[in-house]
Amino acid sequence: MSTETGTAAGRDASRIHNIGYRSYDGRRLGRAYARRSLYSQTLRGSFGFGRSAKSKVLPMLLSGVMVLVAAILVAVSMATPNSTKLVIEYTSYAIFMQAVIGLFIAAQAPQAVSRDLRFKSVPLYFSRPIERADYVVAKFAATASALFILTGTPLLILYVGALLAKYDFADQTVWFGQGLVSVALLSVLFAGLGLVMAALTPRRGFGVAAVIALLTISYGAVSTIQAIAWTTDSLGAVQWLGLFSPITLIDGIQTAFLGATSAFPGEEGPGAGTGVVYLLVVLALVAGSYAVLMRRYRKVGL
């Protein structure tokens, strides 16, 4: 009797409650939407948008420096008597400001990838309709876009200032286009190398140090050795030494193909033949950076 009563009581206590869950019947946005969202979120984050006020200070300060220096150079050019062109070439501006660019990518590349690694949120991305290649491409493209905005905006200021000063329109337009090609190549190269260095460790500080060492310290070391080679009449070595620093690689390419004045000692930049080697090395570094990132996220995405 007690068993039957207990069974009846248990059956009476069993209820199916409708707690309000509904199946999703909206539009499935898919991989393309997820990729675009990740791209825009990373790009905005590179300049501190959508983050704390403290996170905005450094990227906005560095962006302000890039713009302010360009404005000052325009003012100096316009104040120079009988001036017919800017005091700096469009292709030389990024070389001149390479320390600021290096600090920007050193600070923002770890922000783009290190936090996801540190907090182990990468598997959460891959639980959605997004593939490993989507994640890498979105981060790569967003970081390169942020660098292009950083380096391209001051060139636009130089160009507008040159037109206001009534310098030759055709010449300025050609030189401005050459400068944009140069900084676009620089942005892709620096983004790839910066993200690789940052993705090697979830520790933001280590990532920052690694990027600075690769981009800034390597430039100082190569420039010093080039100067020594120049003073010892080892002129052939000057061009080949430029292959060992990202910024001198860009310098060599724009000297060989974009009519730029080289920052190498004695302004002896590579010719077209050597410039092909420079271009191949840059393309190999970009492709290699992508391959390394894909391999890195094959492991952390599990």
The Cα–Cα gap between 82 and 71 comes to 19
Q: Residue 27 has what pLDDT?
A: 72
Residue 40 contacts by C-beta under 8 Å, 6 or more apart in sequence? 142
- Write down the mean pLDDT value for the chain: 87
pTM as predicted: 0.87
Are 138 and 35 a contacting pair, CB within 8 Å?
yes
Confidence of residue 91 (pLDDT cuts 50, 70, 90): very high
CA neighbor of 290 nearest in space, from 212, 187, 202, 189: 189
Residue 9 contacts by C-beta under 8 Å, 6 or more apart in sequence? none
Residue 196 contacts by C-beta under 8 Å, 6 or more apart in sequence? 289, 292, 293, 296
In this structure, the number of other CB atoms found within 10 A of the CB of residue 170 comes to 7
State mean pLDDT over 131-137. Answer: 88
Cβ-defined contacts of 70-76 (< 8 Å, 24+): 70/153, 70/154, 70/155, 70/157, 70/158, 70/161, 71/157, 71/161, 73/158, 74/157, 74/158, 74/161, 74/162, 74/165, 75/161
State mean pLDDT over 265-272. Answer: 81
Are 70 and 93 a contacting pair, CB within 8 Å?
yes
Kindly tell me if the per-residue pLDDT of 147 is higher than 90: yes
Q: Please report, for the chain, how many H helices and E strands are present, in that order.
A: 13, 0
Q: Residue 105 has what pLDDT?
A: 96
Confidence of residue 1 (pLDDT cuts 50, 70, 90): very low
Q: Residue 292 has what pLDDT?
A: 94
